[in-house]
Amino acid sequence: MLMQWGYIGAALFDVVVLSLALFILSKKLNWEARWKAWVPGARMYSWGESLKVYRDGTVCGVLDMMYVLEMVVRIMIPDKEYVTVLALLQLILFVFVFIYRVRLFLELLKLFGRGRKWILLYLIRDWLPILILGVSNKYQPRHETIKEEHWQAGMKLLPKEDELCNAVPLINEGLSIQIRERAVREFGKKRYLLDDIALNIPERSLVLLLGGSGAGKTTMINAVIGYEKADATILLNGVDIYNDYESVKHDIGFVPQQNLIRGKDTVMRTVDDAARIRLPKGMSKEEKRKKISEIMELLGLSSGKAGLVAKKSGGQLRRICIATELITDPVLFILDEPDSGLDGAISREIFTKLRQIADEGRIVIVITHTPDRVIDLFDKVIVLARDSGRVGRLAFYGSPQEAREFFERDTMEEIVRSVNGKEEGGEGHADEMIEKYTKLVVSGHADEMIEEPMKQVVSGKGGENA
C-alpha cells in the first residue's frame, strides 16, 4: 500500500511540475491563455497549438486528461482488484502519452533550434528540458519554422464579400465557375485553400492554368470536376456538376500527371479497355470501334497500336493516357502537366493535338510549368496567386496578350514570378494583382466603363485563337 501511494505521489509530482514548466515556457510560445498550462488535457492541446501541430496536440491532450483522471480514480477506489485493472490501464495510457509527448517535444526542439541530444534530458524527467528552455534567456524560439508557415496557409486576414462571384454571373453555355471558398477543417481549425474565384470559359477554348506552388491549381481543378467539393456552383452547359453529377460525369475527362496505364498491354488493348469501361452500355460494338479508331487516328496512335505500352516513348505514353480519357468524348477535358518530362518538340506535338481537340468544340484546361514554348496555341490564361493570407485567389483571366498587358510582363513565366512570394524567389505582387483584377471586373459590371478587352475577360469571350 505504501509503495502504491509512493508511486501515485511521484506521478502527481511530475504532473504538477510539468504544468509549471509549461506555464513558464508558455510566455515564450505566446499562449493567449497561459492558465491552460495547469489544466490536464488543455495544456497538451495548447502546447501542440503553439507548435502548429494540431493533430498531435489534440490526441496528446485527450490522452493526458485520461491519464490524470485514471490516477484520481485510483486514489478514490481502494479496492485491490480494481487497482490492478486501473494500474494496467495506466500503463497503457502512459505508453501512448509518452509517444505523443515525445512527438511534441521534438517539434519544440525544432522551434528552439536544439539538437536531439536533449532527448536524454527528456528521458530523465520529461519536464526538465521544458523547464530549462522556459527559464533560460539563452534559448529563444524561432517563429519562422516550416510548420508555422504551413499553418498560416488559409487565413482570411480581411474577410470580404465574394466580389468576383457577385460580379461575374453564371451562364448556361460552356463552363461557368463560381468558387466562393474551398476550406478544410482540421481539429477545430479552418484553413482556406481558395476564395472568390469566378469566370466563364466558352466552348472551343484551350485554357492555360498558371500559378506558383501552393497557389491552388490542383485544388481548383478538383473543385471544378467535383472530386473535392467546395462552396461553389459549377455549371457545364447549364448542368450543375455538384447537384447532377451522374448526368454530366461522362462529359468530364481528367488526365493526371502520372501515367496510370499498364505497361504489359498493347496500345490498342489499353484504349479498347477504356472504351469498354467508360462508354455507354447501349452503344453498339460498331460504334465503339469507330470511336476508338477516330481517337487513335487523332492522336497518331494507329500505326503503333499493336505495340506494348511499356515500349513506348514518353510522348506516346502521354498520348495513350489522353486517348483513354478522350474516348468518352468529354465536353470538359483537363490535363495536369501533359508535357511533364518531355522535350520541346514532343511537347509542341502534344499541345497541337490538344488545340485540335479544343477546336472540335471542347473546353480543354491545362496545367504546365513550361507554358511559353506553346503559349501561341492558347485562347485563355487563368492566373491563380496566393495572397498574403496564403489563400488561393484569382489574379487574372483573359487572353495571353491581355495577360502580358495586365501584368506588364513579356512571358508567362515572368507573370508567375511576379505573383510568387519573395520567399519563393518571386516579386511578391500577388495582393496587388488580385486587387487590381478584382476592381477591373467589379467596376466593369457596375458601370461598364472599362475597355473592351477587359469586358471580354469578364464575359469569357475572345482570346488569341477565339
Task: Give pLDDT tens digits for 203-234.
Answer: 999 999 999 878 889 999 999 998 889 999 99
Q: Which fold has domain 163-237+331-459?
A: Rossmann fold (3.40.50)
Q: What is the mean pLDDT of residues 135-156?
A: 62
- Residue 403: the pLDDT is 94
CB 406 within 8 A of CB 437: yes
- Cα separation, 295 vs 172, whole angstroms: 28
CB under 8 Å to 231, separation ≥6 — which residues?
179, 180, 181, 182, 183
- Residue 155: the pLDDT is 60
Q: What is the mean pLDDT of residues 416-425?
A: 86
pLDDT > 50? residue 144 = no
- Cα separation, 321 vs 338, whole angstroms: 9
Phi first, then psi: what are they for 231, rounded to 5°? -80, 90
Which carries the bigger pLDDT value, residue 463 or residue 181? 181
- For the chain, the structural domain boundaries read 2-152, 163-237+331-459
Cell numbers for 226, please give them. 467535383
- Calculate the average pLDDT of the chain: 81
pLDDT > 60? residue 30 = yes
Alpha carbons within 13 angstroms on the beta-carbon side of residue 465 total 21
- Residue 450: the pLDDT is 35
- Residue 347: the pLDDT is 80
Rounded to the nearest 5 degrees, what angle is found at the Cα of 305, between the Cα atoms of 302 and 310?
135
Cell numbers for 162, please give them. 465574394
Q: What is the mean pLDDT of residues 332-359?
A: 83
Helix (H) or strand (E) holding 6, with range, is helix 2-28
pLDDT > 90? residue 423 = no
Strands (DSSP E) along 237-373, which ranges? 239-240, 252-255, 332-336, 363-367
CB 381 within 8 A of CB 400: yes
- Cα separation, 303 vs 309, whole angstroms: 13
pLDDT category, 445, cuts 50, 70, 90? very low
Angle between helices 400-407 and 430-447 (to 10 degrees): 110
Locus of grid cell 530549462: 132
Q: Which 3 state secondary structure label does DSSP give 85?
A: helix
Task: Give pLDDT tens digits for 246-291.
Answer: 888 888 988 876 666 677 778 788 888 777 877 777 778 888 888 8
Phi first, then psi: what are they for 413, rounded to 5°? -65, -35
Rounded to the nearest 5 degrees, what angle is found at the Cα of 30, between the Cα atoms of 102 and 12?
45
- Cα separation, 430 vs 399, whole angstroms: 19
